[in-house]
Each structure stands twice: as structure tokens, then as C-alpha cells.
Amino acid sequence: MDSNTTYEEWLETWLIGKRNFVKEATYANYSLAICNHIIPTLGAVRLLDIDEMLIQNAVLYWLDCGRIDGNGGLSHKTVKDFLIIITSSLKDAYLSTGRSFKRYSIRFPKQQSVRRIKVLSYRDQQALTYHIVNNLTARKLGILLALHTGLRIGELCALQWEDIDFDRKVLTVEKTIQRIYVRNLDGSSMTRVVVGTPKTQSSAREIPLPSFLVPILQEFCQENNKDYVLTDDSNYVEPRAYRRFFQGLITRLEIEPVCFHGLRHTFATRLVEAGADVKTVSSLLGHASANITLDLYVHPQIDQKRRCIELMQLSI
């Protein structure tokens, strides 16, 4: 690296060096962020000229109008992911030349509101469960599993019969399926499905199965324990296809629209409403922190709020 090296030139070198040391999905996320956002905004700047003000201005730009389709800005989380890449790449650049790296202090505007994922109402949850139990198929069984274990859709699609211990009544999460989009620095791109380890270290976990679900699962269990639970054979169903299946089902049942991830939120919310401690719920969900569970996955319903209010009775 010389004094005239641009940030784009360094990012190309840095990204190539990362390929063998991160998950394939992580590399895909890095390449997409670098090609679509970081290089177009900061790539032409000399590496040694990258400073806190330039990064701060880039952050404000991405938040305001960073979407590549031109329809507004990116989320705080997405931009914070960009900052992780920028910080890591700049730190490696400075270390490679023996210079000391000073972390930047980047500020984010206060968020006006946090979009919460909808959960199923009690009525819709009962209607969905009743339909599935009385019209069981392997794919519908997956929805029942998601409602009662909180599995992510990629974890559910990767689930094989070998991951279920019927003696212990425990389900083990140790892999996930996802479709990744890789954007190469030469402008080419590709997508493909990968089976890998779960999202984070804490995502690998054991989940006790509810007693009512065990005999239902046993009815579908295949002799070949390598078969996938959702398909009854050696072929998996990928997440986007399973999302379409779920959306088609709730549409036919005239259930209020909710995304598949809403089943995971429903699971967490119902547990907390029933009195489960948040730390245990967090462990079941595979979260690194109970704060994540509280902030994002607990959605008190109006009846629950009313019961809380009624706990405090004043004599009038």
C-alpha cells in the first residue's frame, strides 16, 4: 500500500484476503455491501484521507437516501453493518503499514420509530394450529414446529430427523439453509443455496419438544434419519419457497397477514405472557443476550396489558 492507494483498491485486496476466514454467507454480505454502497460512496478517496468526517457524512447519506433503488434510506442496522466492514478494513490497512489505528466516533440520528414484526393473535394462532393438526402434511408440520420451538426459517428448512432425539424429547439446532447473493468486484454476481452453521455461536442450541408434538413428529419420522423433516426425503426445501407456502396457507385460511418470522415472535411473546423468564426464552431462541429478546421479540397484547394494569387496584 502506497500513499496514493485508493480505498477501493485496498478494499479489493482486503476482501480477497477475507474469503478463507469467514463464512460464505458473511463473505457474500461483505461483497454486497462493498460493491453496492461503500465503494460508490468512499472508494475514490485516498485510503490515507479517510477520516471521521468522511465516514460520518457517508453514514448520514446512507441513512437518508442509501437504497440502490432510490426509494429512501437504509436502516440503522444495515449502516452499522457497513461500519463494521469499514472499521475492520481500515484497521487492517493501518496494521499492514505499522501505523496505529484510532477508532472513529460515529453518531446516528435518533430513530423516530422501530418497526415491529406482527405476531399472531390468539384467535389466529388457534385457527392455524387447528387446521394443521387436522390436515397434517410434512410442510404444515414445519409451521407447527416453528410456533412451538421458535426456529428460524433457515434452521427449520435444514432440520433432519437425525436432529430430533425422541428419547430425550429434544431438538438440536446445528445448521441452517440460506440463499446467498454474491456480488463480485468485477461486476458479476450469482446466487446459490448453502447449508451452513447457525447464525451465531449461541444459535446452536437444544430445544425441548412440547409433549403433544412428540407423537405427531413420530408419525412422520422416516427410517432414513438423513431425510429432511419438511420434505420426507433427502431433498430440502429452500427458505423462500417455504415462505411462499406459508403465505399461501394463511391467505387461504383468511388469517391476518404475518410474515413467517412472526411465528418466532409469536412463540417468544406467548412464553413471556405465560410467565416464562426472559433469560430462558432468550436461550431457547438462540440469542446472545436477553436484551435482544426483550427489545425485539416480546409483543404484549392488549389483554396482557390490561391484566398488568389490573394488578394495581386502588381503593376509591
Which pTM value belongs to this model?
0.80
For 249-294, the pLDDT digits (tens) are 999 999 999 999 999 999 988 988 888 888 888 889 888 776 667 6
pLDDT tier at 295, thresholds 50, 70, 90: low
For 32-51, the pLDDT digits (tens) are 999 999 999 999 999 989 99
The residues with which 171 forms a beta bridge, in sequence order, are 164, 207
**Count of alpha carbons within 13 Å of 251, Cβ hemisphere only?**
7
- Name the residue with higher pLDDT: 109 or 300: 109
Distances (CA, A) of 251 to 4, 132, 261: 58, 14, 16
d(CA 75, CA 115): 10
pLDDT tier at 316, thresholds 50, 70, 90: very low
Alpha helices in 136-182 (DSSP H): 138-149, 153-157
All structural domains of the chain, each given as residue ranges with its CATH number in brackets, are 7-96 (1.10.150.130), 122-307 (1.10.443.10)
Distance of CA 258 to the CA centre of its chain: 16
Examine the pLDDT at 311 and tell me if it is beyond 80.
Answer: no
Under DSSP, is residue 279 helix (H, G, I), strand (E, B) or coil? Answer: helix
Around Cβ 175, how many Cβ atoms within 10 Å? 17
Got the DSSP string for 237-271?
--HHHHHHHHHHHHHHTTPPP--THHHHHHHHHHH
**Residue corresponding to grid cell 483498491:** 9
The residues with which 170 forms a beta bridge, in sequence order, are 165, 208
Examine the pLDDT at 314 and tell me if it is beyond 70.
Answer: no
Examine the pLDDT at 179 and tell me if it is beyond 70.
Answer: yes
- Name the residue with higher pLDDT: 316 or 188: 188
d(CA 285, CA 193): 23
| Average pLDDT value for the chain | 88
d(CA 203, CA 151): 10
For 77-102, the pLDDT digits (tens) are 999 999 999 999 999 998 888 888 88
All three cell numbers of 32, joined, read 454486497
Examine the pLDDT at 112 and tell me if it is beyond 80.
Answer: no
Distances (CA, A) of 235 to 39, 48, 158, 160, 213: 39, 50, 10, 10, 23
pLDDT at 3: 74
**pLDDT average, residue stretch 163-174:** 95
Say if strands 164-165 and 170-173 run parallel, antiparallel, or are unpaired: antiparallel
**pLDDT average, residue stretch 136-145:** 96
Under DSSP, is residue 232 helix (H, G, I), strand (E, B) or coil? Answer: coil
**Count of alpha carbons within 13 Å of 156, Cβ hemisphere only?**
28
pLDDT tier at 315, thresholds 50, 70, 90: very low
pLDDT at 115: 65
Around Cβ 252, how many Cβ atoms within 10 Å? 9
